[in-house]
Amino acid sequence: MSHKKVFPAKLEGSVKVPGDKSISQRVAMLASLAEGTSKVTGYLNGEDARSTLSAMEQMGAKAEFRDDALYITGVAGKLQSPAEPLDMGNSGTGTRLLAGLVAGAGLEVSMIGDESLSSRPMGRIRQPLELMGAHIGLTGKRGTLPMMIAGGKLKGTGYLLPMASAQVKSCVLLAGLFADGKTTVIEPRPTRDHTEKLFQALGIPIQINGLEISIEGFGQEGPRFKARNFVVPGDFSSAAFWIVAIAARPGAELVLENVGLNPRRTALLDVMERMGADLEITLTEKQGDPYGTIKVRGARLHGTVIEGDEIPNLIDELPVIAVAAALAEGKTEIRDAAELRVKESDRIAEVVKNLQLFGVEVEELDDGMIISGPTDLKTPAVAINSHDDHRIAMSVAILNSFSDGPITIENVSCVDTSYPEFWQHMEQLGGQVE
Ligand code: S3P
Q: What angle do CA 237, 240, 242 make, to 5 degrees?
A: 135
93 pocket-lining for ligand 1 (C-beta < 6 Å): yes
Q: What residues of the chain score a pLDDT lower than 50? A: none
Q: How far is the CA of 102 from the centre of ligand 1 (A)?
A: 19
Global pTM reads 0.98
Question: Which residues touch 210 (CB under 8 Å, ≥6 apart)?
Answer: none
Instruction: Report phi then psi at 219, rounded to 5.
Output: 85, 175
Q: How far is the CA of 91 from the centre of ligand 1 (A)?
A: 10
Determine the pLDDT at residue 10: 86
Q: CA-CA distance, 162 to 104, in Å (whole number)?
A: 21
CATH of domain 21-216: 3.65.10.10
Give the start-to-end residue ranges of the domains of the chain. Answer: 3-19+234-428, 21-216
- Examine residue 319 and say whether the peptide bond preceding it is cis (omega within 30 degrees of 0): no
β-partners of residue 213 are 185, 208
3-state secondary structure 13-40: EEECCCECHHHHHHHHHHHHHCECEEEE
Instruction: Report phi then psi at 90, rounded to 5.
Output: -105, 5
Same fold, 3-19+234-428 and 21-216: yes
336 pocket-lining for ligand 1 (C-beta < 6 Å): no
Q: From residue 164, how far is each of 27, 160, 192, 215, 372 by CA, in Å?
A: 22, 10, 10, 19, 28
* pLDDT tens digit sequence for 233-243: 999 999 999 99
Determine the pLDDT at residue 1: 61
Please list the active-site residues: 316
316 pocket-lining for ligand 1 (C-beta < 6 Å): yes
315 pocket-lining for ligand 1 (C-beta < 6 Å): yes
Structurally, at CATH architecture level, domain 3-19+234-428 sits in Alpha-beta prism (3.65)
Q: CA-CA distance, 286 to 291, in Å (whole number)?
A: 7
Atom of ligand 1 nearest to the CA of 22: 11
